[in-house]
Each structure stands twice: as C-alpha cells, then as structure tokens.
Amino acid sequence: MSTRISDLVDPVEGRVSARIYADEQIYDVEMERVFGRSWLFLAHESMLPKRGDYITTSMGDDPVVVVNRGDGEVAAFMNQCRHRGMRICRADQGNARAFTCSYHGWVYDLQGNLTQVPHEDDGYLGALDKSQMGALRVPRIANYRGFLFGCWDEKAPSFEDYLGDMAWYFDSFANRYENNEILGAPNRWTIECNWKFPSEQFATDVYHAETSHISALIAQGGDWVTADTKGLQFSSPGGHGTGFYLDDAPDMTDYGPAARQYRAESREREVERLGETRAVHVRGHNTIFPNFSFLIGTNTFRVWHPRGPHQIEVMTWTLGDADAPDEVKDAMRRNALRTFSAGGIFEAEDGENWAEIQDVLKGGRARRSSFDFTMGRGAAGTTEGYPGTTNNIYSEEAGRSFYRRWAQLMEEDQ
Amino acid sequence: MTTDAARPVAADLVLHHEVSQFLFREARLLDTRQFEEWLSMIAEDVRYVAPVRLARMPREDRKEFEPVGGGAHFDENKEDLAQRVRKVNTGRAWSEVPASRTRHLVTNIEVTAVEGDDYHVSSHFLLYRTRSATYQDQFAGARHDVLRRRSGGFGDLELAERTILLDQTVLLGNNLAVFL
Ligand code: FES
Ligand SMILES: [Fe+2]
C-alpha cells in the first residue's frame, strides 16, 4: 500500500483519516492482518448442545461452520469445499451427521475431515490424499465461560492474554449468571457502513446516546443520567474498551414486574459472584477487539461481520439467565428485541448514523477529511478498584486505543 | 403457521370485503403516518410477532421459523407498539427523520377460519420503503392475522393478533423502524 498507516491514524493526537472506512485496499489488508490474527467470536456453547449441532457464521468476511463434534469439543472450519470451493453447509443452523457438498458430493465429517469422494477409484485412480483435503480448519478455538472464539493465527497469544484486563470487564457480562442461555436464534440484518463504526462505538462512545437515542428515551419515559452522573471508560492496549456509570447503573430496561422482582433478588447473587463494583456499576457498552460487542443490562451481544468496506451483516443474540423462571427469560428476550435489534427503538438510530456517514464518504473530499478523537486526551490514568487504564466515560480513550491496536496490526508483517 | 395449508372458508362476500377494507385502511394509515389512528385499530391484548426465519435443510424444514418465545424481530404488546408511536412522534427519531416514504401493498387476502367474533385472515404484503435521496429497501412476507369484531357494525374490527412471516433470513435494510 502506498500510504503508510501511520499517516492515516494518529492515536496520540486523536485523529483518524476517513479513508480507513471506505478504501478497498485498506479493507483487503485488514481482512488479512486484523481479522487473520485476532480472536473472533464463533458461538456460545449453549447454541450447540448436541453432537452434530451446527451453526454457520463468519470470521471476518469468510464463512465458517461451527459444529459440536460430540466429544465435548467444538470444531470450526471454513465453509468451503476443497474441490471447487462450493459452500459445504448451506443452512443457517441444524443438526448433521456429515456435510455433503452439493456440487460433486464430497463428504466431510463433523470435524471438517474429508471422508468420502465419489469416484475415488475410477476417477482419481486412488491418488487423492483425502487426509490433506479436509476443510480449512480454524486451528485455535478458545472456550471462555462458554463463549467460543476462534483464531486463524497459530502464533497469536492465548485468548486470556489477548483479553488482558478486558477479562475482568467481560466477566461482568459472561459471568453475571451462574448459567447462561442464549434466548433464540440471532437477528440478522445488513447496514451500509464500515465495520469499524459500530465496533468503535461500543468500545468508546456513550457520548452519542443523549442525542442519538433521545426519542427512544422519551418514549420509554425512563430516567436518564444527568450532567452530574459520573462514569468511567476502560481502554486496553488490545483495542478493547468499555464505558459505564459509577452511580447505580441506570437501567434502560423495563422487564416488567415479575422480572423486575427476580432481577432485584438476583442482584445479591450477582454481587456475590462479581463483587459490588462490577455487579452494580460495570454494566455499560463494550467491544472486544475487533468486532464483538455487548451491552450489559439489555443483555445483547453481537458480531459486526464485515461485508466489504461499505457494508456489515449484524448478528445479534440475547443472553439469558438459564436459571430464571420462563416468564423472566421471556421478559428479558422481549426487552432486548424491542430495544436492540433491527426493529429495536434504540438500535435503529445507530445504524442510521453509521449508514449516513458511509454515504458521505462516497465523496472524494470527504474521504480525505479526518475525524476527531480528542475527547479526554491526556487525562488517562488509573482508578482504584478498576483494572487497566481508565478515563472519564465521556472520553475517547478507548477509541484511540482501538485505532492504535488496529494500526499496529495493519503495519506489522507476519 | 398452521394456517398455510388451510383452505379459505366460505366467507360471504360482505365479510371478505370488510376484512379487506380493514387491511387496506390499515395500510393507508401507516403509509400516511397516522400512527395514533392506526393504534386505535389494535386490540388492547394484541400480540404482534415476527419470528426469525432460518435457512434449514429439508428434514428440518418445520423449524424454519423460530417458535413462539424464540428469536424474533418483533414480539410486542400494545404498550410496545404505543411506545414506538410515541418515539416517532417526538420528531427526533432520526431513523425516521426525514420520514420514510412507505407503501404497504396487501394482497392474497383469505379468510381461513371464523371462530365466533374472530376471523383468521391470511394475506401477503410487500413493504416498499424509500428514504433520503436514493435509499430503498423492501420487505415481503405473509401475515397471519386474527381480526376481532368489536361491536357488530360493519367494519368495526380490531387487530387481535398478527404473525409476520418475513421472506428474508438476513434482513436487507439498515433497520426495521417501520411497522410491517
Ligand atoms: S465443489 Fe465440492 S465436491 Fe466439487
Ligand atoms: Fe447507540
């Protein structure tokens, strides 16, 4: 690439070139260097309870199959036949004993090994080494509290090291309930925007909420934070970020009376599991670099799958407390849907903003502009009781870290 | 979702006309953004659901749509719908500012069952939507509605149940900030 990444991203000064969101060449490099080396969310183990249960998803823009192998392990492999590249699995989810390619009939087992080839003897004259022709395996899979992440890079750090201090914050979501359960199949939709807009927003940006989401806040009639409400943002050298309020976290949710009562009781258990600080305060917006985000409180988590520089496919799920009564689970599920899904009263405005920015970036002069990330610059520090680097919630510390990490990966040769 | 194979009942012409007029009026109110009026057509105990659709292999066909209580685009009661109307009426619901221009085309209307004051009605819809200068999206699908007679007078029906079966599995649109 003729342009140096360091000319495009300046995390110290807090400037990011608009080009990084709209340039095809940059996109190609980031698929290889960012998505090729990062840990990417695959599935939650509760989505695949039985042997042969599978879902199809993506790692970056590559389709993958994630399967329960039946031996307590999960396999993930590229959804691409080694013969001519046909998709091996063509459903969104289901249960299979094997995957048969619909082009010439090659058969792959639950681990992606090639097991049967039509006309192996008279066609290939027995010369096809099936052991070398399995679907491209995701070589590394980590199971973190039931959340399965995969990584193409054999040399990448372990998932725990990759998370670093973010693990403490992620636990506030992943370890809040004794048992997690995913409440239903994901909502999926497309947004005409670059994947970095939503990823960055969930890492660093509570700032937008009062403006972007004012209509939903009014419609809900709930209390919202006042000017005196204090909060913190955590930023990570790994590019992860989270922001949350230090007051008893404002609950944007309304789960209904039965659920509210259950949630009130379950808070005691949450405090026991997570400690007061996390149970009560660390309940905000979060991104695990590069494209896995979650909101505690509304219990949604999502992957922003890149689909070229100008489009994403969103997959969002609702996390539920597996031990809650059905009525409560249902209230949590419905609440997540009506706030944060394609039809969610909060979600809609975010996509609107990202898509409009992307549309502006069709302009050549617009692409040469740079965006401002100076909020809270120079004010990062530490806060007793909170791991890692922190800053005011109204800062863009985590945004600067997100792009610092992005630039590092983009510049490093393998 | 059981009504797909149902034959139309021998609804008389007047009933069929009444049901059709109800759906057409609803479409007009939505497309002219008379959302309060639209709400007045909805029963207090309404259930408004759009289950998530999945691509499935043939032997798992029957699991194509998420069950009640599973993944959904909408699973709303009257207050949820009213909340959406309040939201859009703030004038600051940016995903609808400036407003979308929408066209609800409702066709293939069949009365599939009559149970007392309840009419089970199946129909198809195409929602065309355009906003800004060039943006457009389209959602097509089936609706399975239960329309309930309120008073006995012609046309005095309410929407008591709606199940929306969208054709897309991955919705091709930036959001669903419109009513289906
Ligand atoms: S492409 Fe799969 S068998 Fe030929
Ligand atoms: Fe938002």
ipTM of the complex: 0.95
Q: What is the rounded average pLDDT of the residues B144-153?
A: 93
CATH code (residue B78): 3.10.450.50
pLDDT score of A258: 86
pLDDT score of A247: 79
CA-only gyration radius of chain B, Å: 17
Kindly report, as residue ranges, where domains of CATH 2.102.10.10 are found in chain A.
40-142
Please give the angle made by the CA atoms of B84, B103 and B167, to the nearest 5 degrees: 80
Instruction: Say how many C-beta atoms besides its own lie within 10 A of residue A364's C-beta.
Output: 8
pLDDT score of A102: 98
Strand partners, B42: B159
Q: Mean pLDDT in chain B?
A: 94
pLDDT score of A229: 78
Q: Is the CB of A89 under 6 A from ligand 1?
A: no
Hey, which bits of A69-177 come out as E strands?
A: 74-78, 93-95, 99-100, 107-108, 114-116, 140-144, 147-151
Query: H-helix or E-strand containing A357?
Result: helix A347-360
Distance CA A28, CA A33 (A): 9
How many angstroms does the Cα of residue A216 sit away from the middle of ligand 2? Answer: 11
Q: What is the rounded average pLDDT of the residues B51-79?
A: 97
How many angstroms does the Cα of residue A347 sit away from the middle of ligand 2? Answer: 6
- Asked if A191's CB is within 8 angstroms of B174's CB, the reply is yes
Place of tokens 């913190």: A232
- Asked if B73's CB is within 8 angstroms of A218's CB, the reply is no
Strand partners, A147: A44, A144
Q: Answer yes or no: is B86 within a domain.
A: yes
Could you report the per-residue pLDDT of B93-130, keeping only the tens digit for each?
A: 999 999 999 999 999 999 999 999 999 999 999 999 99
Distance CA A137, CA A113 (A): 9
pLDDT score of B117: 93
Q: Is the pLDDT of residue B23 over 50?
A: yes
Q: Answer yes or no: is B153 within a domain.
A: yes
CATH architecture of A5-37+164-411: Alpha-Beta Complex (3.90)
Instruction: Say how many C-beta atoms besides its own lie within 10 A of residue A343's C-beta.
Output: 26
Q: Is the CB of A87 under 6 A from ligand 1?
A: no
pLDDT score of A251: 61
**Which residue puts its alpha carbon closest to atom 3 of ligand 1?**
A104
* Angle between helical axes of A196-204 and A347-360 (0-180°, round to 10): 130
pLDDT score of A248: 72
- Asked if A90's CB is within 8 angstroms of B176's CB, the reply is no
pLDDT score of B1: 41
Q: Any idea what DSSP says for residue B117? A: T
SS3 A235: strand
Handedness of CA B19, B165, B90, A226 (dihedral sign): positive
Q: Which residue range(s) make up the domain with B26?
A: 9-166
| Token pair recorded at residue A61 | 């823009």
Place of tokens 């309410």: B158
pLDDT score of A253: 64
| Token pair recorded at residue A248 | 């008893």
Whether B104 contacts B127, CB under 8 Å: yes
Distance CA A16, CA A361 (A): 14
pLDDT score of A55: 98
Listing DSSP states for A261-322 in one string gives: HHHHHHHHHHHHHHHHIIIII--SEEEETTTEEEETTTTEEEEEEE-STT-EEEEEEEEEET
How many angstroms does the Cα of residue A73 sit away from the middle of ligand 1? Answer: 27
B170 phi and psi angles, rounded to 5 deg: -100, 115
Regions of chain A with pLDDT less than 50: none
Q: Among A54, A79, A92, which would you mutate to test the B interface (most chain B Cβ atoms within 10 Å of its Cβ)?
A: A92
Q: What is the rounded average pLDDT of the residues B19-25?
A: 98
Residues of A in contact with B176 (CB under 8 A): 189, 341-343, 348
Distance CA A255, CA B25 (A): 33
CATH class of segment(s) A40-142: mainly beta
Q: What is the rounded average pLDDT of the residues B14-37?
A: 97
Q: Answer yes or no: is B16 within a domain.
A: yes
Of B176, B106, B103, B100, nearest to B141 by C-alpha is B106
CB neighbours of A116 closer than 8 A, spacing ≥ 6? A105, A106, A107
Q: Answer yes or no: is B176 within a domain.
A: no
Place of tokens 């619901």: B93
| Token pair recorded at residue A413 | 């040769």
Kindly report, as residue ranges, where domains of CATH 3.90.380.10 are found in chain A.
5-37+164-411
Q: Are strands A231-235 and B157-166 parallel, antiparallel or unpaired?
A: unpaired
Q: Any idea what DSSP says for residue A236? A: -
Q: Any idea what DSSP says for residue A30? A: H
Q: Which residues of chain B approach chain A closer than 8 Å at the C-beta?
A: 50, 52, 54-57, 60, 63, 66, 69-76, 80, 83-84, 86-88, 90-96, 132, 135, 169-177
If one counts the domains in chain B, the total is 1
* Angle between helical axes of A397-411 and A196-204 (0-180°, round to 10): 140
A95, A190, A220: residue with CB nearest B83: A220
| Token pair recorded at residue B42 | 């909805």
Distance CA A342, CA B72 (A): 10
Q: Are strands A147-151 and A140-144 parallel, antiparallel or unpaired?
A: antiparallel
How many angstroms does the Cα of residue A238 sit away from the middle of ligand 2? Answer: 23
- Asked if B171's CB is within 8 angstroms of A188's CB, the reply is yes
| Token pair recorded at residue A184 | 């239903």
